[in-house]
Chains A and B, each alone.
Chain A
Amino acid sequence: DIQMTQSPSTLSASVGDRVTITCRASQNINSWLAWYQQKPGKAPKVLIYKASSLESGVPSRFSGSVSGTEFTLTISSLQPDDFATYYCQQYNSYPRTFGQGTKVEIK
């Protein structure tokens, strides 16, 4: 199975901060990576697909990038609505696997 190692597990930040979350795949996943945002009691919402493509309707402050097997989700200017938990997921091979999540908290 492909392991997705996400860091940090918790991140404290302020409104307006630039935030970066990293996800490292244990092997090549050909950029088949998605990022999701989940708020308490709600289903996840896709933000980024194919490593760097922005899902329709998602604010442009969210962006994704890749370098080899290391993937990054960046929020350019954190907004109050962005405090949530973020997950990466590979969909290159089976079983699909998620990172363990990054909780973005208010500093």
Chain B
Amino acid sequence: EVQLVESGGGLVQPGGSLRLSCAASGFSFSGYWMTWVRQAPGKGLEWVANIKQDGSEKYYVDSVKGRFTISRDNAKSSLYLQMNSLRVEDTAIYYCAKDRQYRSPSCYDYWGQGTLVTVSS
């Protein structure tokens, strides 16, 4: 059974940092692109970043470029999102998602339960 479990969310002041983790199991993690998607309270979905199976390619939405870094550790079947210089508008539930197609970026067939990041003074 595929499972994605996020952790690391919490309350942080503007300008602060957080590192989100996503522990994956039940599939061959090293064979899939992985993605972070966020959802502000009461709002729609926003794609944040994704990473190729070997970490050699990474893409970001403009609003987080230079502040967020996506990474992965295939030996630990884990995905990460390092978030620096956090802003109030980064407040959201952050979901980790598995790309559907083996070795190719695609849509997302499995999602974690999400972890809430609140940026507030």
Residues of A near any B CB (own CB < 8 A): 1, 34, 36, 38, 43-46, 49, 55, 87, 89, 91, 94-101
B100 contacts across to A, CB distance below 8 A: 46, 49
Name the residue of chain B whose CB is nearest to the CB of A45: B111
Q: Shortest 6 CB-CB distances between A and B: which pairs? A: A34-B107, A43-B111, A96-B47, A95-B61, A98-B45, A94-B59
- Cα A24 to Cα B108 in complex, Å, equals 20
Judged by a CB distance under 8 angstroms, whether B32 is at the interface is no
13 inter-chain pairs at a CB distance below 8 angstroms, sorted by A residue, are A34-B108, A46-B107, A46-B109, A55-B109, A89-B45, A91-B105, A95-B47, A96-B50, A97-B47, A98-B44, A98-B47, A100-B44, A101-B45
Q: Which of B32-53 contact A (CB under 8 A)?
A: 35, 37, 44-47, 50
* Pairwise interchain contact A87-B61, C-beta atoms closer than 8 A: no
